[in-house]
Structure 1
């Protein structure tokens, strides 16, 4: 009889080794940096989301870029790929997609490294120290990317374990510097949000299907599943990156041309101001809906059903099916966006009105992300466990 593959054990052990290597490497400081300039830095939402991906709230470590270049490149390629026709998607090989992601991540890492290096505080600032910092940041990003790619192949959770470790580190640092009184309200909100998010991640809207190839007692179990949280926490993770685009545009315009409106936007278009937070929340809601329609594409789903001869129960094939699926994707994405943005509005209200200390005001956001990633890791481990549990009949 065939022996068990121990798939869960081997993959979990591999991920554990990757985490240990990353944990050791991601706190190596850059050469020639004045580390005293990076003590006691404050945290806002942007810094928290950055630490989730890079694991470094301070831009003074070799791995300060973390896995952000690779994840950003993956998101951009995925969005561009999702916008292509179904035929074009079928003609594109996974190997070609990996080439695009690798090339784009190199470009993003180079650009980020240059910007980081120019903003750093050096013991002796000169061209050599800046170039050395750029190379070290690029090397750190390459190592993080190598660990991530191998964990996707041989571990569990893809990039999630690295982000979870980063977030745990952030939470521990926040807890050790805060009092219980300051943490009471954020933790209570976090508990409620974690319960809501786990429910949305673990449950699906099941649209019953009528399949031409199934005519038995199992036919009633056929359905099209759409998660209550269609794109997970992708919008929240990359919202800060998208938010940087208008900030960069305004910064460039401000450098060459200054008016009252440009000066106002330059000073207030950030997450530490009420105006900037409002813009971010509106952008987050729209971004959630856009990503949901791209990645849970009603057109592709309806065409797949039409080509296979299947249909949604009591819904005609073709455009009515597309409209029906689009209705549910829009509804679920609006609910998902409203929950996330509602949490952001509450946290921002507590922070800007002085009810909660700014250093802990965005803790619910961290716990939302953390609960989502843990759910994804759990579901993947459970899938590997089910596969490992199969026993051959012969």
Structure 2
């Protein structure tokens, strides 16, 4: 984490930092995405991309795996690792090029040994540095997965913690919420309440009893857990960014900006309108279903149960089991998604009257990410404690 923090303070050469910061500050969705991926997108640095390429690549690969293709199931662990790293590299190149385009007005000629490099060489150098930084972040995360706590996602922790005051003060960029003493006390109370609610929601699960006819004794009975928050904090992580992207695309296209369609997009991507609040809730629900399906993978789960000789009482294996698992997945995902929607839109509704309160939606999203990461680390510590405390004979 120390290396990650230092790397996010090393500014990429060949740019004017002030101009680059001014250019990127206009991209609201990038600032929100930076908190989500643990990157520094206010100004281009060595580790600006953070875990963005890795997280996007992992989501893509999990989506492919969830479809249960035979060729995917036949891959070895080593082959799967190479494919994921290749996807990460491709996405890192694409995201580096995108970031370089945003900061193009900030480019300055590089001089090496009294020789001025062309702008094309400078642009290529910036892209290579950003890609190298992204792959270095993945390397650090893999090392922590093997030797440390929290896996690769722990590298998001510093960026989220550092970004909490900014998320509260200027979450939606156009709504300022001054950090006065009364406001900080209110934020503290809200934080404690949200943490308690999220921890409780993360503990709720449906346990579907399983039968194992081929195993005798107590091992013949177990259960299949379905979490209420099937997607964890993932819907919160990407909802704000996805909410703002359509408006950013409209603003970047002159023809669309002058059309009537732009008014519709502005309305449904404005957090200070009723339609915008409804749209934000719909996005959270959609992300809950998508990320939940990728996480649970009911199709693959049904197949694995059949291969392992596990059955649900009074449910036939095969298609019937798949339908049964999909039904309960949809039920849990719907209730869990509605819980997240309520938590997210309450500040937006209050913000219709007191505008700064809407920033709490972005702030709560950051808190949800923190709770999920820290809870994962805590479960890992407990598992290791139990492992080293286990004795076969007393």
Q: Which band: TM-score by shorter chain?
A: 0.7 to 0.9
Residue from 6, 9, 13 that aligns with 1:31 = 13
Cα shift at 1:147? 0.9
Which residue is 1:76 aligned to? 60
Change (3 A) 1:255 1:77: farther
In the alignment, the residues of structure 2 paired with residue 258 and residue 203 of structure 1 have an alpha-carbon distance, to the nearest angstrom, of 45
In the alignment, the residues of structure 2 paired with residue 81 and residue 232 of structure 1 have an alpha-carbon distance, to the nearest angstrom, of 19
Which residue is 2:205 aligned to? 204
Kindly indicate whether residue 353 of structure 2 is the aligned counterpart of residue 353 of structure 1.
Answer: yes
Gaps of 5+ in 1: 1-18
Residue from 67, 74, 79 that aligns with 2:51 = 67
Residue from 101, 113, 117 that aligns with 2:96 = 113
Which residue is 1:103 aligned to? 86
In the alignment, the residues of structure 2 paired with residue 357 and residue 245 of structure 1 have an alpha-carbon distance, to the nearest angstrom, of 22
In the alignment, the residues of structure 1 paired with residue 81 and residue 13 of structure 2 have an alpha-carbon distance, to the nearest angstrom, of 32
What SS does the aligned partner of 1:132 have? helix
Which residue is 1:262 aligned to? 261
Structure having greater relative contact order (Cα 8 Å, sep ≥ 6): 1
Range with bigger deviation, 329-338 or 119-128: 119-128
Change (3 A) 1:45 1:229: farther
Range with bigger deviation, 351-360 or 89-98: 351-360
Change (3 A) 1:361 1:241: closer
In the alignment, the residues of structure 2 paired with residue 106 and residue 353 of structure 1 have an alpha-carbon distance, to the nearest angstrom, of 45
Which residue is 2:145 aligned to? 152
Change (3 A) 1:288 1:383: same
Residue from 142, 146, 155 that aligns with 1:162 = 155
Q: What are the Cα deviations for residues 184-233 of structure 1, in whole angstroms up to 9, with x where unaligned?
A: 4444443333222212323421111222134435545x111122221212
In the alignment, the residues of structure 2 paired with residue 70 and residue 27 of structure 1 have an alpha-carbon distance, to the nearest angstrom, of 21
- Output aligned runs, 1:149-298, within 5 Å: 149-171=142-164, 178-217=179-218, 219-220=220-221, 222-239=222-239, 254=253, 260-264=259-263, 267=266, 270=269, 274=273, 278-298=278-298
Range with bigger deviation, 379-388 or 255-264: 255-264
Cα shift at 1:61? 2.0
Residue from 1, 13, 22 that aligns with 2:4 = 22
Q: What are the Cα deviations for residues 289-335 of structure 1, in whole angstroms up to 9, with x where unaligned?
A: 13323432333333333344432234344444333322221111112
Which residue is 2:331 aligned to? 331
Change (3 A) 1:304 1:133: closer
Change (3 A) 1:56 1:364: same
Cα shift at 1:21? 1.4
Cα shift at 1:73? 0.8
Change (3 A) 1:29 1:239: same
- Output aligned runs, 1:33-48, within 5 Å: 33-37=15-19, 38=21, 47-48=31-32
Number of aligned residue pairs: give it.
373
Range with bigger deviation, 243-252 or 207-216: 243-252
Which residue is 1:386 aligned to? 386
Residue from 130, 134, 159 that aligns with 1:141 = 134
Which residue is 1:16 aligned to? none
In the alignment, the residues of structure 2 paired with residue 36 and residue 248 of structure 1 have an alpha-carbon distance, to the nearest angstrom, of 22
Preserved CA contact (<8 Å) 2:271 2:348: no
Q: Normalising by structure 1, what TM-score?
A: 0.81
In the alignment, the residues of structure 2 paired with residue 139 and residue 360 of structure 1 have an alpha-carbon distance, to the nearest angstrom, of 35
In the alignment, the residues of structure 1 paired with residue 158 and residue 325 of structure 2 have an alpha-carbon distance, to the nearest angstrom, of 37
Q: What are the Cα deviations for residues 10-60 of structure 1, in whole angstroms up to 9, with x where unaligned?
A: xxxxxxxxx121122221112243333538959968634422313325033
In the alignment, the residues of structure 1 paired with residue 266 and residue 204 of structure 2 have an alpha-carbon distance, to the nearest angstrom, of 42
Residue from 18, 21, 34 that aligns with 1:50 = 34
